[in-house]
Amino acid sequence: MSVPPRAVQLNEANAFLKEHPEVLYVDLLIADMNGVVRGKRIERTSLHKVYEKGINLPASLFALDINGSTVESTGLGLDIGDADRICYPIPDTLCNEPWQKRPTAQLLMTMHELEGEPFFADPREVLRQVVTKFDELGLTICAAFELEFYLIDQENVNGRPQPPRSPISGKRPHSTQVYLIDDLDEYVDCLQDILEGAKEQGIPADAIVKESAPAQFEVNLHHVADPIKACDYAVLLKRLIKNIAYDHEMDTTFMAKPYPGQAGNGLHVHISILDKEGKNIFASEDPEQNAALRHAIGGVLETLPAQMAFLCPNVNSYRRFGAQFYVPNSPTWGLDNRTVALRVPTGSADAVRLEHRVAGADANPYLLMASVLAGVHHGLVNKIEPGAPVEGNSYEQNEQSLPNNLRDALRELDDSEVMAKYIDPKYIDIFVACKESELEEFEHSISDLEYNWYLHTV
């Protein structure tokens, strides 16, 4: 006789609490539309109740703007009485928080209707709906993220970030020095604690590299045969990095473009697809001749303009683009070419995959993955050809054609018939409403530059 799912999860809780008698509290976490982690903190004695009955949180949690205010035009706030839904634990996400002084654990949650159905506006559910279309084809998605971030000082200068002083030399970094090992050494204690903390939490982070700006780094996550789990790892990794940095008296930012004139923070995703026998359908000695790979690329490139609002969801996201910063601004692909939107690494034939290079680190991983996979599925089913790969510098050969601002990106998403087949139009309406609300507030603000230009000159 099989064990009921709820009983299986209770066994998970029992085993964890037995193994960790020191744990006093448990943080119950759920990622909102912006990928911001929200939730509740409970005492360990309440954990069993959470597994048995879940916890209540308002549906408006998924109608919050970047400041945490409910956007009423979504219809998820006062229109429904700010009503609760129920959140249940996600299996295999219960783990310690290594940065806490008081022993605390964490547990990822996902929202459901009171009757038990998954709640449509949870970004994790948005992704799950897309993944089911691959399940129907007998295909499994393998995915991994590369996450860029800046270490910054806890004190800013006139509201602007600055690199932190090195714990080793006491100096602030100013040079680019991509891949420089010495820069890793300058912040070695913090960076090593990030890797060790990831290991303790079961997050498959296998490398940190120095990126192309002062105190900018990238963490590589190992691929997993579950795109939803890959996104869980990305969300939890961001939280881990932020809190480990606090322990080292530094701050972090995943803002897409925190410094003018320096590289922005990206969130690249690597995707391959396994058939029923576990073989990579993209595997090929000559990737150009692999029909499945070409069709997947064709679908992603065709839908890329409509993906942009999910890939680059904030006003600041579009400041990241520029040829000198290796951020693609046109729907292009190529073999082992870092100037294109879709790069196909050309190492081992068995490891052929897509590297999607457009999104910023400010993207919600679930929505990013959902939009990219929608393009992949669209291409596979409709056998869309991508055209010839780009050789050489794509920026010199292709003019910018992707939306270069949030308003245009939202229009592309709202008008896309293809995306509406994969992502519930009700959810697209909610997303667009939230982002248009932020955009309206931004456009009504007056910047320092406007005062400098116009206050005494016109």
| CATH topology classification for 3-116 | Ubiquitin-like (UB roll) (3.10.20)
Cα angle for residues 273, 328, 284 (degrees, 5° grid): 30
- Tell me, what's the pLDDT at 3? 38
Residue 327 φ/ψ, nearest 5 degrees: -115, 110
The answer to whether residues 232 and 94 touch, using CB atoms and an 8 Å cutoff, is no
- Tell me, what's the pLDDT at 99? 97
CA distances from 1 to 4, 9 (A): 9, 17
| CATH topology classification for 129-422 | Creatine Kinase; Chain A, domain 2 (3.30.590)
pLDDT (tens digit, 9 = 90+) per residue, 90-131? 999 999 999 999 999 999 999 999 999 999 999 999 999 999
Share of the chain above pLDDT 90, in %: 86
pLDDT (tens digit, 9 = 90+) per residue, 366-412? 999 999 999 999 999 999 999 999 999 999 999 999 999 999 999 99
pLDDT (tens digit, 9 = 90+) per residue, 171-194? 888 766 554 666 778 899 999 999
The answer to whether residues 215 and 163 touch, using CB atoms and an 8 Å cutoff, is yes
The model's confidence at residue 323, banded by pLDDT at 50, 70 and 90, is low
CA–CA separation, 280 and 139 (whole Å): 10
The answer to whether residues 164 and 250 touch, using CB atoms and an 8 Å cutoff, is yes
pLDDT (tens digit, 9 = 90+) per residue, 273-290? 999 999 999 999 999 999
The answer to whether residues 50 and 89 touch, using CB atoms and an 8 Å cutoff, is yes
CA–CA separation, 46 and 58 (whole Å): 20
The pTM (predicted TM-score) of the whole model is 0.95
Domain residues of the chain, as ranges? Answer: 3-116, 129-422
pLDDT (tens digit, 9 = 90+) per residue, 59-85? 999 999 999 999 999 999 999 999 999
